Chains A and B, each alone.
Chain A
């Protein structure tokens, strides 16, 4: 949808008029991200992160396709072929580091994007479908990133593949056959590496397709904004182009500066040194940890250490870890408060920041060595994570007294109602 006051596409050049009659692709672009799409005038810089995630995906696809021109998905040569990329392929080191750190940047912007949505209530009606598709993209991203990390066939690659496919063996009865099916053998080997390569190539294009649906679903109600108040008239919006193309361009510049700093000065800061050791199926590294962007979920997995209600600790951990993400699918119906933005929700705001701290601390615990203290803290933090969504949010939405909302977006921006003539 677009608002009734959106500017209309009117091709001037005869060629564009001809094209518009046959295949109105420029019209589609104009109405999607051009001047034909009015956007709330008060978006802050947290609204950059959708575009940044799109840019990060583009970087991954381009560098990924290039790396696949030089990489060989076979256990005997995979590790060496990555070193060949680093040493011999022209600019190979740059492209490989860009792809590896690009994954980290992708998760940084996507986590910010998700927490933006949590803070400003962007998952609430009428944007539930945007949120659901977003969670699907998040799951696909994690699957893709996992399989990508397996490809260099270092120690972390191999044991990550062993552990993550091991999650499926926790499923009663069918678990072991499923794991064998995923791996194509009894343990990770050539067959597993080869299919992970194929799927790692495929999934980014599935992600791109779901992103199209994500943007489509967003453009039906239009963007949320920091007040959470609906757009009431033309004075509340500005055309996407040039106002937000420029602002997103600015954000993209900052993103690329941060990315470049990471890429050129600390390309291995976020990686694990053990992945520079070729895979050894007979020896697990003493301290195996997943990539940083999986750590909070890994901590939840590790926090279950005892059998409980007749269900093995292993299955509890796996269910809790997947549950912690699948829970997000239900969030639009868990949070019953009609107020969207946390700026007008004094209690929710407070618990939101506790959740942020909780997830960050879970991340810290995810990489810490397993000691009784760490296990206890993980259990507390994992418990808090689930309580936030299952207990705290429903209670808050019942008892919270929201602050007075501004009458309109324009009033929130100007501090007073818009002049009638505007």
Chain B
């Protein structure tokens, strides 16, 4: 009776015909079809999500990075300027001999992010310290480039946000910032002009 009912049920799955592939005999070809169908839907889903996520990455106009040229002629020793590059501020400072001496006197091994002044300036232009004005902690602009601002106890820059202190070579000396102020890519076009970017 029960067998007859199931046989007449139109929704009943047709019996699997085949010699070895019966229930409990390992995977059926239908299982493979299920996995293949779901896997393909998954691939399709990922292919849709990628552009939906990727649209938030920097757009072409943002990535079309212009480089800027900075005239150094009017920057006297011991002073510096702030210029905008890639929508971010950059410090351009003309170091005094005393500041250079101070930077060189620091034992490199004692630094959190060991780097010499020479590695952070161009050969023959070691008085020109060009760094991003972006604190490597959470991105504030450190004080110290404008006369009269707090330069911190190491005579370089002081970030007011969380108290990071940089020395005369822009190297991290105290506070929560993990790295030295980043030196952007730049080159000297002439003795008094650099191209940043």
Contacts and interface: CB of A to CB of B under 8 A. Distances in A.
Contacts, number: 91
Given A180-B57, A284-B141, A317-B176, A186 B160 contact: no
A41 interface: no
Interface string B106-120: 000000100000000
B138 A314 contact: yes
A212 to B, nearest CB: 25
Interface in A124-178: 159, 162-163, 165-167, 169
A314 B59 contact: no
Closest 4 A/B residue pairs (Cβ): A166-B138, A370-B163, A312-B178, A284-B140
B161 A284 contact: yes
A236 to B, nearest CB: 50
Contacts of B62: 184-186, 189, 191
Contact of A281 (B84, B161, B163, B178): B84
A213 interface: no
A282 B89 contact: yes
B130 interface: no
21 contacts: A166-B139, A180-B57, A181-B53, A184-B59, A186-B88, A187-B88, A187-B134, A187-B139, A189-B87, A191-B58, A281-B84, A282-B133, A283-B141, A288-B160, A302-B162, A302-B176, A304-B176, A307-B178, A314-B138, A315-B178, A370-B162
A169 B178 CA distance: 11
B103 interface: no
B176 A305 contact: yes
Contacts of B59: 184, 191
A211 interface: no
B137 interface: yes
A184 B140 contact: no
A375 B89 CA distance: 28
A35 to B, nearest CB: 45
Interface string B154-185: 00000111110000000000011110000000
By size class, the interface of chain A is 35 or more
Nearest to B134: A187
Contacts of A418: none
B122 interface: no
A282 B82 CA distance: 8
A186 B175 contact: no
Nearest to A165: B139
Contact of B161 (A288, A304, A305): A288
Interface of B: 53, 56-59, 62, 82, 84, 86-89, 112, 133-134, 136-141, 143, 159-163, 175-178
Contacts of B136: 314
A162 B139 contact: yes
Contacts of B87: 185-187, 189, 281
A182 interface: yes
Given A305-B176, A314-B176, A184 B89 contact: no
Given A163-B140, A307-B178, A281 B88 contact: yes
A193 B47 CA distance: 27
Contact of B140 (A159, A165, A181, A307): A159
Contacts of B137: 166, 314
Most buried by A among B136, B138, B140, B160: B138
Contacts of B86: 186-187
A286 B56 contact: no
Contacts of A370: 162-163
Interface string A276-291: 0000011111111000
B140 A288 contact: yes
A189 B163 CA distance: 25
A375 B163 CA distance: 10
Interface in A285-339: 285-288, 302, 304-305, 307, 312-315, 317
A269 B100 CA distance: 47
Contacts of B53: 181
Contacts of B163: 305, 370, 375
Nearest to A177: B57
Given A159-B140, A314-B137, 15 more contacts: A159-B161, A163-B140, A181-B56, A182-B56, A184-B62, A185-B62, A191-B58, A191-B59, A281-B84, A281-B87, A281-B89, A284-B161, A307-B178, A313-B176, A314-B176
Contacts of A305: 163, 175-176
A379 to B, nearest CB: 12
